[in-house]
Amino acid sequence: MSDTIVTLPDQSTARIPKMNYLTKENGLLSWLLTGDHKRIAILYLISISFFFFVGGSLAGLIRLELLTPQSDLMATDTYNKVFSMHGIIMVFFFLVPSVPATIGNFIIPMMIGAKDLALPKVNLLSWYLYVAAGILALYTMASGGVDTGWTFTTPLSTHYVNTHVLTTGMAVFIAGFSSIFTGLNFIVTIHKMRAPGMTWFRLPLFVWAHYAASILMVLGTPVLAIAIVLMALERTVGIGVFDPTKGGDPLLFQHLFWFYSHPAVYIMILPGMGVISEVISTFSRKRVFGYTAVAFSSVAIAVFGFFVWAHHMFIMGISNYAVLIFSLLTMLVAVPSAIKIFNWAFTLYKGSITFETPMLYAFGFMGLFTIGGMTGVFLGASGTDIHLTETYFIVAHFHFVMVGGMLMAFLSGIHFWWPKMTGRMYPEKISQLAAVVTFIGFNLTFFPQFILGTLGMPRRYASYPPEFQILNVFSTAGASVLGVGYLLPVLYLTWSLKYGEIAGNNPWQATGLEWQVQSPPLTENFPEIPIVDHEAYDYEWLERQKEKEVASVG
Amino acid sequence: MAHDIPHEQHFHDPANVTNPEHAEHHIVLPLEYSFVFGTLLLCTALTVFAATRDLGVFNPIVALAIACFKGVIVILFFMHVKYQSNLIKMTVGAGFFTFLVLITMTLSDYISRAWGLW
Amino acid sequence: MSDSTAIAHGTAEAHHEHPPYQRHHFETIAQQNDATNFAMWLFLLTEIMFFGGLFTAYLIYRNWYYPAFVQGSHQLQIGWGTANTAVLITSSFTMAMGVWSAEMRKKGALVLCLVLTFTLGLVFLGIKTIEYSEKIEKHHVPGFHYSVQSFVDPASDPEVYNEYHDKPLALDMARHTELYFFLYFAMTGMHALHMIIGIAILGFMIFRARAGAYTTGHVTFVENFGLYWHFVDIVWIFLFPLLYLINRHPLAH
Amino acid sequence: MSHISPIIWQFLVKWMTNFALFPPEASKIAPQMDALYFFMVLVSLVGLTIVILLITSFSILYSKKRHPVAVQIEGSTLLEATWTIIPLGLFLVMFVWGALLYFRIYTPPANAMNIYVVGKQWMWKAEHPGGQHEINALHVPTGRPIQLTIISQDVFHSFSIPAFRVKREAIPGRYTSVWFEATTPGTYHLFCTQYCGTDHSHMIGDVVVLTPEDYKKWLDGSTSGSSLAQNGERLFASLSCAACHNTRPDARGPSLANVYGSRLTLSSGQQITADDAYLREAILNPSQHITQGYAPIMPTYQGQISEEGVIDLVEYIKNLDSDYRVQQTTASTTLLPEGEGNTTKAPVAPGANQRAPQGMVKQ
Ligand code: HEA
Ligand code: HEA
Ligand code: CUA
Ligand SMILES: [Cu+2]
């Protein structure tokens, strides 16, 4: 591997540092009661991976059912429960906490030169809330599930289904608080815990992205909470706020729900965008093109993200004037994302590029997110939304942004920071293969769904007219490839925990502060709090650091 | 370039942590609290009194204006925001701003629905 | 392994002196206080948004069902509402004085202030209970045998009728008073829930304050709790006019 | 071909015969929708190509092998402005174009023929003005604008005809409308596209587009006896509406003749147009908007009339352009036996009421 920047220490002599956050204390309790952000991140990593595979297995069931036009694998009722649980688990138990609670939790304090998040106990609490919510969700699933879709649309969810709406609602409610506490913790940490010299414009873009996402978590999630509380009251006591026969307006629920859930899609994508900034810069050895534009576009997405929620309700009966306003604002919120994509592309310009696994995933992200984002604009233009809404076009749109975008970014980030988290490298060749397999599998799965949607195949259908079968067969075939692509990392990353090569402090020669300390890091991250005198992505500074080291050693 | 500053020995100086977002701890005195308390009671009396008068469309406006005033002085004095850093001031502002976004944008739908109810 | 752990501890904490209440990951106590204070404010933001959903619902339905909201609010007694506002404002004042006492390290005064706040909180809840039980008697609890009797036939409810001389509402409008009462119960109930949580924490604080925990110069906990208590007060400051006051003189409709 | 396994063979046959890539364009709006759609596809393709080109060409030109040392670049305001403004401009074009389309689809022309659609778990019921009922099917003629007035009896549904590129939500408790003009005879899919519970995926049907002649034949072949307005008239009588809505000088309610489409002044001073939705609300939630000069005495009929019944009444009132029929109804009310009032399926009223569909109300 001559063209790679991986600089591993001499493997025959290298050893994992004896003292690190993993070895500091032992025993299950030392993990369950830890305040260390890195250990909590690992706890999160394990739990969200578990939920990803639960959600993924449900996706497998969906795709199997859709292999044939009839609902022959399972009854329509079961199918409805399967996709509802798939959506709920994937959104609230996987994607929302995915990058922030794992990578963000692990890396942000290190990036800004802090010993921990500002509120370690709250951090642990938010993991426990997550687990409690997850157990509740699993319990719900085991005891019969819920069939409202992940959107809990009233009056269906309040008056017309008799599945476990309340327990699921409670699970989502609790998971919401977990997310609020994570976001709150990040904001406080980023404001108050930065090392001396770490000014706002020296922060890595990963931190900016998380800052923006955290704002959304703190200000958006409570509205979801109140929406769920009202739904629960409507269902149990029949108070009438969402019941048209009592004078309530079922659309009010959607206003409240989407006031959270649209910003939530940016909660889901912004941290991923942060990962992409780091990865693209590191592997092209170049500072991010237009740092300020990328930083501010994150904030712009967060702010504008609060103004567009009703684009999910274009045909649901909001006023035509509101449609105009929300459609216009949707167009505005799409612009910062485009800025980011082009800034990343130009970061490559005159770089010195290598193609390690994280970079491959990042490339995948850029292509797929562009497709996903542009199709979002199709839906944001009110006219085309009429034809495309509630069809597989939407399903394809959001899987492109969520799976092709965020999941790719998550995998990119996991591979990128794996050496830091564990001190060991993963096997490069097979991981590159996995990246390529996921990319191919992904396109095979979800691209046909755009065509299906244009043809008019409605979403949430257990059975469909036979002429849609061919494309569905492609999609199902793709999902199997995709499943393999996701299974591979689990295998080789686990393998690498024991057999991976020793990574050393900074295998990628990256500039972030987290890379300047040992891997895996000490519990308090830095032996001494660093003083920052350089901007983010300053590769010249990194060179000088190295020379100095060599000088002092020699 | 910024990083051309000679690289110094790392030292540990807590003062480094003091960032511009920090405001010195200000102790609000009981007299000030008492004034605020008095004003709040006065406002309560005023708003109840205003409710007994028929002011037409101004009834709700007056009531809400008084409530806003009361809220603001509680925030400024009881909650010390007047003596806090700009960060806290902006945080409070951001909260109420988002709250207004929720209300106004939702109402924009309801108000503009074809007529009356829908 | 165990000795290396000890070393880690040693190096991390050897070289600066911390007051006992400073958590190890903060550099200075000022940083810690700033951080917790800021975190408290962010938490209050989530509370604003949480109540925000209810306020939105209130505004919408008040516009839609104005006559129902007018007559619904006639069922509330301004006297109790005013008394409760005064109680709550006073408790806010005693809480603020508590913060001051803690800052001045006056243990006795602090305990007194906290006990006063605690008591006033209970008084507020007591008054609320009286109001609630009245609603229960009149079957004005939405979802539980709700009755529109007082609205289709106001004269059957002499107390309110003698004061406001409401005209009977048509049945369909009268039914919408249920929405008013739901919002009344949801908003005041959610507020009362916050009071209950606050009172529980106050109890704990009184206990700790007597042991001198907050008069050592480290007042963040008292201060942050104060923020919470004042916030709950602010919510009420808005609920009071919205629910009790603004509909006393309905516009000619 | 025997060496190909039969399953694969079947699959291939299906592929050849049953494969669609683009839905048929069977309404006037469809080509307009598709124009915007293809414009968007084009913009996306161009955008995507640019992104891919940038990534691949930079990757090749500046790979570590070729370009060992990176050149640090701050950024470029000019470039960044370019890729802010161009996408913004394109998005705004899409916004305007989309909005025009949106308003076109949801603003029915005045001369449209109205068909009522009621959605309920899990079927669609269409009601033609002449009284023809259909379940999970809709017959429409070509060359004539058709307006659908849609309502749901329970949860949200959504009435979708992909071949026409139109779709409209069926909302509980409220009329919505959409219109289209079919161009090509044939049978097209009708879907419920809003998730509505267990049998959501079975809430499908056919839209049959007929030539005007065939349509007329179909209409004649499937009359159920009385038109919607006739049913409405019967209901009007049996619910004693005419007790108040009559032409006597002491009438307690306003005359309903010609009320449809007129501007009304409410007691709050607000001006509104009496459309279908207004008529429905006036019957179910009368005190919501009191007509100026009248007392809020009209009782609510919420819960007493089914959605279909309301439709009948609305259709009756819509076609009421003089008070003549009402007087007749007042007269015939007395003939009705007691207690018939609360059901939609009121028995056919005395023979006097049986007239030809068109002639009966439009005089
Ligand atoms: C991570 C999640 C995520 C993200 C980031 C997005 C991003 C966007 N989404 Fe998406 N969306 C979802 C997740 C997401 N969405 C989900 C889950 C649903 C369905 C929910 C449900 O009903 O179950 C949904 C549904 C949804 C709808 C509702 C459809 C309907 O119900 O009818 C709409 C409508 O406007 C929409 C729009 C957008 C837009 C405009 C963006 C924009 O932010 C995208 C911006 C990005 C770009 C525009 C790409 C960059 C562009 C370029 C690099 C090319 C530029 C070049 C040129 C123009 C030349 N989305
Ligand atoms: C983070 C979000 C996320 C993610 C990652 C995914 C991942 C996937 N989703 Fe999901 N999806 C949603 C969010 C997500 N989805 C949401 C919000 C909805 C809407 C729900 C609603 O309507 O309410 C939805 C709905 C949805 C539908 C539409 C259902 C319908 O409307 O009828 C389909 C259909 O194809 C689908 C497919 C898939 C597939 C194939 C994957 C794949 O990417 C998954 C691949 C992963 C695995 C397969 C697991 C890993 C592998 C193994 C465990 C090996 C063993 C498994 C097998 C061999 C099968 N999803
Ligand atoms: Cu009806 Cu879906
Ligand atoms: Cu959205």
Look up the CATH number of the domain holding residue A531.
1.20.210.10
Measure A58 CA to ligand 2 centroid, in angstroms: 7
- Decide if D346 is inside a domain: no
Contact A63 CB / ligand 2 (< 6 Å): yes
Of ligand 3's atoms, which has the minimum distance to the CA of residue D119?
A: 1
What spacing in Å lies between the alpha carbon of A25 and ligand 3's midpoint?
Answer: 56
Q: Which residues contact C54 (CB under 8 A, 6 or more apart)?
A: A226, C183, C186, C187, C190
Q: What confidence tens digit (pLDDT) does each residue in C232-243 have?
A: 999 999 999 999
Nearest CA to ligand 3 atom 1: D157
* Residue of D47, D65, D169 with shortest CB distance to A316: D169
Instruction: Please check whether residues D157 and D32 belong to one and the same domain.
Output: yes
pLDDT of res. B13? 43
Say if CB B105 and CB B98 are below 8 A apart: no
Pocket lining: A83 vs ligand 2, CB cutoff 6 Å: yes
For residue A179, the enclosing domain spans 4-553
Give the range among A268-277, A528-537, C116-125 with minimum mean pLDDT.
A528-537
Provide the CATH number for the domain around residue D216.
2.60.40.420
Closest atom of ligand 2 to A445 CA is 40
SS3 A249: coil
- Does any ligand 2 atom lie closer than 6 A to the CB of residue A265? no
Q: What is the pTM of this model?
A: 0.91
Q: Comparing D159 with C158, which gets the higher pLDDT? A: D159
Contact between A94 and A51 (Cβ < 8 Å): yes
Cβ < 6 A, ligand 3 pocket:
D 119, 122, 157, 192, 194-196, 200, 203
pLDDT band at D361 (very low <50, low <70, confident <90, very high): very low
Q: Which domain CATH number covers C115?
A: 1.20.120.80
Mean pLDDT of A140-146: 89
- Most A-contacting residue of C4, C22, C25, C50 (CB-CB within 10 A), to test interface: C25
Domain count, chain A: 1
CB atoms within 10 A of CB D47: 22
D55: nearest CB among A348, A386, A539: A348
Q: For residue D5, what pLDDT is reported?
A: 66
Instruction: Read off the CATH number of the domain in which D271 is found.
Output: 1.10.760.10
Chains that touch D (3 or more CB pairs under 8 A): A, B, C
Instruction: Give the range among A216-225, B53-62, C222-231, D289-298 with minimum mean pLDDT.
Output: D289-298
Give D135's contacts (C-beta < 8 A, 6+ positions apart): D123, D124, D125, D126, D205
**Residues D230, D131: contact at Cβ < 8 Å?**
yes
Q: What share of chain A is helix, strand, coil (3-state, %, to 5)?
A: 70, 0, 30
Instruction: Summarize pLDDT for A452-486 with one digit per residue, the tens.
Output: 999 999 999 999 998 888 899 999 999 999 999 99
Question: Model confidence at C1, in pLDDT bands (50, 70, 90)?
Answer: very low
Q: Which chains sit next to B, with 3 or more Cβ pairs under 8 A? A: A, C, D
Nearest C-alpha in A relative to D39: A378
Q: Which ligand is nearest to the CA of D160?
A: 3
Which of B53, B78, B92 is the closest to C92 by Cβ?
B78
Distance from CA of C179 to the nearest CA of D (A): 15
Question: A184 falls in which pLDDT band (50, 70, 90)?
Answer: very high
Identify which has the larger pLDDT, A324 or C26: A324
Q: Cβ(C148)–Cβ(C181) under 8 Å?
A: no
Which residue, A458, A311, A445, is CA-closest to A393?
A458
Q: Which atom of ligand 3 lies at the shortest distance from residue D195's CA?
A: 2
- H/E segment holding residue D147: strand D146-152
B77 occurs within a structural domain: yes
- Contact between D64 and A3 (Cβ < 8 Å): yes
pLDDT, residue A542, reads 86
State chain C's mean pLDDT as an integer.
Answer: 85
Distance of CA A355 to the CA centre of its chain: 23
Task: Name beta bridge partners: D125.
Answer: D118, D135
Selected residues 64-83 of chain C with any CB under 8 Å from a CB in chain A:
64-65
Query: Which pLDDT band holds residue D329 (cuts at 50, 70, 90)?
Result: low
* Closest CA–CA distance from residue C141 to any residue of chain D (Å): 22
Is the CB of residue C8 less than 8 Å away from at least one CB of chain A?
A: yes
**Chain D residue with the nearest C-alpha to that of C64:** D288
Residue C24: inside a domain: no
- Would you state the structure tokens that stand for residue D210, as one six-digit string? 């007929």
Mean pLDDT of C198-205: 95
Cα of A469 from ligand 3 centre, angstroms: 21
Closest among A218, A76, A92, A71 to A152, alpha carbons compared: A92
Q: With respect to residue D84, please indicate whether it lies within any of the assigned structural domains.
A: yes
My answer on whether D99 and D246 are in the same domain is: no
Q: How far is CA A384 from the centre of its chain?
A: 28
Q: Is it true that the peptide bond before A155 is cis, omega within 30 degrees of 0?
A: yes
Give D8's contacts in chain A (Cβ within 8 Å). none
Token pair for A425 = 């490298």
Question: What's the average model confidence in pLDDT over C41-66?
Answer: 92
Tokens of A326: 């929300």
| pLDDT above 70 as % of chain D | 82
Q: Could you tell me if residue C17 is inside a domain? A: no
Kindly list the residues from chain A whose CB atom is less than 8 angstroms away from the CB atom of residue C69: none
In chain C, the number of structural domains is 1
Nearest to A465 among D91, D189, D192 (CB): D189
**Structural domain of residue B57, as residue ranges?**
26-110
Chain D residues touching B2 at Cβ < 8 A: none
Considering its fold, how many domains does chain D have in total?
A: 2
Please indicate whether, in this complex, the C-beta atoms of D195 and A286 are within 8 angstroms of each other. no
Answer whether B118 sits within 8 Å of D288, measured CB to CB: no
Between residues 90 and 149 of chain C, which touch chain A (CB distance below 8 Å)? 142-144
Q: Chains contacting A with at least 3 CB pairs below 8 Å?
A: B, C, D
Residue C5 tokens read as 């752990």
> What pLDDT sits at residue D314?
86
Residue C240: give the domain boundaries. Answer: 29-245
- Residue D217 and residue D232 in one domain: no
Give the phi and the psi of residue A120 in degrees, each rounded to 5: -60, -35
Tell me the H-state helices in D1-61. 6-17, 29-61
What residues have CB less than 8 Å from C222, skipping those under 6 apart? C98, C99, C102, C110, C205, C209, C214
| Pick from A191, A325, A540: CB nearest B21 | A191
Closest approach of B8 to chain C, Cα-based (Å): 20
Residue C124 carries which DSSP code? Answer: H
pLDDT digits (tens, 9 = 90+) for A3-54: 456 778 888 888 888 888 888 888 888 889 988 999 999 999 999 999 999 9
DSSP element (H, E) containing D119: strand D113-120
* CB-CB under 8 Å, A342 with D83: yes
The residue written with tokens 């007087």 in the block is D327
Distance CA D53, CA D47 (A): 10
Which of C64, C67, C172 lies nearest to residue D286, judging by beta carbons?
A: C172
Which comes out higher in pLDDT, residue B58 or A96? A96
The chain-wide mean pLDDT, for chain A, equals 91
- Prediction ipTM score: 0.91
Tokens 């269902």 label which residue? A235
Q: Are residues B66 and C241, on separate chains, in Cβ contact within 8 Å? A: yes
For atom 5 of ligand 2, which residue has the closest CA? A403
At A331, the amino acid letter reads: M
Q: Examine residue C5 and state whether it is found in any structural domain, yes or no.
A: no
Q: What is the pLDDT of residue C160?
A: 79
C-beta separation of B49 from B59 below 8 A = no
Do D194 and D85 belong together in one domain? yes
From ligand 3's centre to the CA of C19, what distance in Å? 64
Q: How far apart are CA A159 and CA A157, in angstroms?
A: 6
Look at residue D338 and tell me if it is in a domain.
Answer: no
Nearest CA to ligand 1 atom 46: A373
Whether D53 and D153 share a structural domain: yes
**B115 lies in some domain:** no
The pLDDT of B5-21, averaged and rounded, is 45
Residues D288 and D303 in one domain: yes
Asked if omega into A417 is within 30° of 0 (cis), the reply is no
Cβ of A336 closer than 6 Å to ligand 2, yes or no, is no
**Protein residue with its CA nearest to atom 37 in ligand 1:** A376
Residue D253, domain member (yes or no): yes
Range of the domain at D212: 21-61+76-224
Residue C68 counted as domain residue: yes
pLDDT band, residue A445 (cuts 50/70/90): very high
Q: Please determine, for residue C5, whether its predicted confidence score (pLDDT) is greater than 80.
A: no
Pocket probe for ligand 2: among A94, A393, A403, the residue whose CB has the most ligand atoms within 8 Å is A403
In this structure, the number of other CB atoms found within 10 A of the CB of residue A70 comes to 10
Residue D356 falls within a domain, yes or no? no
Q: Which atom of ligand 3 is nearest to the CA of D201?
A: 2
CA distance A388 to D160: 10
From residue C130, alpha-carbon distances to C71, C120, C125, C127, D152 in Å are 20, 15, 9, 5, 43
Q: Which residue of A has its CA nearest to C54?
A: A226
State how beta strands D186-192 and D176-180 pair.
unpaired
Question: CA A422, CA A418: separation in Å to the nearest integer?
Answer: 6
